[in-house]
Amino acid sequence: MAHSNMYGYCNASDHSELLGLSNLTLQPYESNPNLKENLEEMYHMLVLQVNSLNGPDVKKFSSRLAAVCYQLGRIYYDTQDSAMAESMFLKAKDTVEDHESEADNILSVINSLNMLGYIKEKDNDDHEEALQYLLEAQYVYQEYNEQRWGSATTVNKLLPNCPKKRALITKKNPLISSRLFTLFYIIEVYKNRGNITEALMCTHLTLKLQLENNLFLQSPLDWALSSALIANLLCQQNAYQQARHHLAAASTFMEKIIPRQYINLYNSETYKQYSADISRCWARYGLRLLKKSKTRFMKQKTHKQPSMIFNNLLFKNFNMWDEERVTRYYVNNYEDAQSLANSILLNLNHTKKYYTFEKSASYYSDLCMDICLTYKLLSYFQDDPDKMGKLFKKGIVDLELTVNRLNEESCMNICRRIWYELGTVYSDMMDIKYERHVKNKLVLTEYAIKKINLYSSSSIKYYLRFIESFYVQRKLPEYVCDPYVKPVLLAHLHMARCNHKKIVNQKNVKLEILFQCKQYYQTVVDYCQRDPRLESMIPVELTSCRELLRSIPSRVDQLLKTKGPVRYYV
């Protein structure tokens, strides 16, 4: 292809896929906030008992005191008294020092450490101290497992006379629930610190724990979506086997587990939305694999192998549907690339059924861009120029229909992205025809000329729409803002190139084309002279532009000297 899309849309991840505080409510607790006075009274009584007793009774009352401290800390936090809340959580931990991992203390200690980590991370942005508390909670949990103390003692047993707020979802397995919240908060800290690999490992562990214990602290639908979302991050590590495994697990959960075990969720509005989101994740997986395959195919390039630390990121003893439906290997021929592309398109079209244009024009446009990209990537594996052109044409059908429906005023950035992409695709289609009929000197039929000129004009039309969207008082301003100035300048160069490749049979028309090209080149040169920073953005293109600008007078002279009948000016 003549040029790559310098203004292309990409699905860059900001790592929001990882589970964390951003999509998780605060860990629930048992006490009723209206009973603060009762708990404070109990707290003071237990402090006196712990300080006045000796022997085995001290441990029993210390455990009760730790439980009260945690419950009080939660009430103080809910009533905006963070300082008192922190002191209570610390008191809960310190009261049972050296006995944290015993059955009577494990829940109070881990829950208090979780809250300290939550406060430091969410309220204070203190990643280091938050991580220190949360890793301590993790260590206490691991020590408890090694010591095999038996079932963790719940607050109901430690404080039998303390009225409860409500039955909790965490009541089913409170220790695993606490462990999961520890991991959720650790993920958030890792994410904010930029430790994405560590966050990824923890995310898998949360999914695995929930699946093995049939305990979902959020909706079971969230489990499926989370499994699909982290597949995108695994793809970025080239861990396609593990990425596909998580996607297959998500699809299995949606297709087999939800309909059987959670009938109330099946076919709900949320179910339909999550099903569409998971299909989009499958499409992203396929696009990533197809992009990498294209790079290997075109440049004979190999990609880094995934780290061995991802090898065990699999769900054991989970009967999933056949993962081999979709490849996890790079493709290197048209048949395999087409199979992968068909899977991508199937998932994108499924997503479009939920995210219609009327529901979300922006998201729908992104899906159409992905469809266009899929066909474009597939074309690189096709040897037949005519079939390549047909693939490009298929890719832009939805895109052209969509951009014509968009409200330019409210969706200007989306329109710009699509206009630039359409300009690029039509330019590539023109190149295919031009390469075949002009450079390779195939018979230059009237039909071929018509197509070359049509694709050239269509490309210029969309590039011009893109450029004109920046006009102020019907002309390009002296300065275009940084994110757009490079694609605006490149669009001028692309228009000049498309214009120059038009095939005409009249000398005066060819002269007009040359003068129009000169105007495009001059605009780029003038812009770069006004702002020297731009030279570093397009150094190769600018050098070429200056050379072409200098060559135009001689080309005009040569054209004027041409005598006799000329069938076509190429």
**pLDDT, tens only, 126-154:** 999 999 999 999 999 999 999 877 889 99
Q: Taking CA 385 as the corner, what is the angle to CA 379 and CA 389, rounded to the nearest 5 degrees?
A: 60
Contact 491, 470 (CB under 8 A): no
Of 302-306, 475-479, 529-533, which gets the smallest average pLDDT? Answer: 302-306
Closest CA to 191 of 19, 328, 11: 19
Mean pLDDT of 546-554: 94
Q: Is the pLDDT of residue 403 over 80?
A: yes
Q: Is the pLDDT of residue 11 over 50?
A: no
DSSP string, 102-130: STTTHHHHHHHHHHHHHIIIIIT--HHHH
Q: Is the pLDDT of residue 356 over 70?
A: yes
Question: So what's the pLDDT on residue 566?
Answer: 62
Closest CA to 423 of 381, 375, 456: 456
Question: So what's the pLDDT on residue 29?
Answer: 72
Q: Provide, rounded to the nearest whole percent, the portion of the chain with pLDDT above 90.
A: 71
Q: What are phi and psi of 31, to 5 degrees?
A: -75, 160
d(CA 177, CA 171): 8
HEC assignment per residue over 148-182: CCCCCCCHHHHCCCCCECCCCHHHHCHHHHHHHHH
Question: So what's the pLDDT on residue 9?
Answer: 34
Question: Which CA distances in Å does 479 have to 116, 374, 474, 489, 523?
Answer: 50, 35, 14, 11, 12
**pLDDT, tens only, 163-174:** 665 444 456 789
Spell out the residues 6+ positions from residue 379 whose beta carbon is closer than 8 angstroms to its own. 388, 391, 392
Question: So what's the pLDDT on residue 464?
Answer: 97
User: Where does the pLDDT of residue 318 fall: very low under 50, low under 70, confident under 90, or very high at 90 and above?
Assistant: confident
Question: So what's the pLDDT on residue 569?
Answer: 67
Closest CA to 186 of 201, 170, 200, 202: 202
Say if pTM beats, i.e. exceeds, 0.75. yes
Question: So what's the pLDDT on residue 37?
Answer: 87
Q: Hey, where are the domains in the chain?
A: 18-213, 219-354, 446-569
CA quadruple 528, 531, 536, 539: dihedral, nearest 10: 10
The top-level CATH class assigned to 18-213 is mainly alpha
Q: Which two tokens stand for residue 417?
A: 């992205």
**pLDDT, tens only, 82-107:** 999 999 999 999 999 999 999 999 99
**pLDDT, tens only, 32-80:** 666 888 899 999 999 999 988 877 789 999 999 999 999 999 999 988 8
**pLDDT, tens only, 169-191:** 456 789 999 999 999 999 999 99
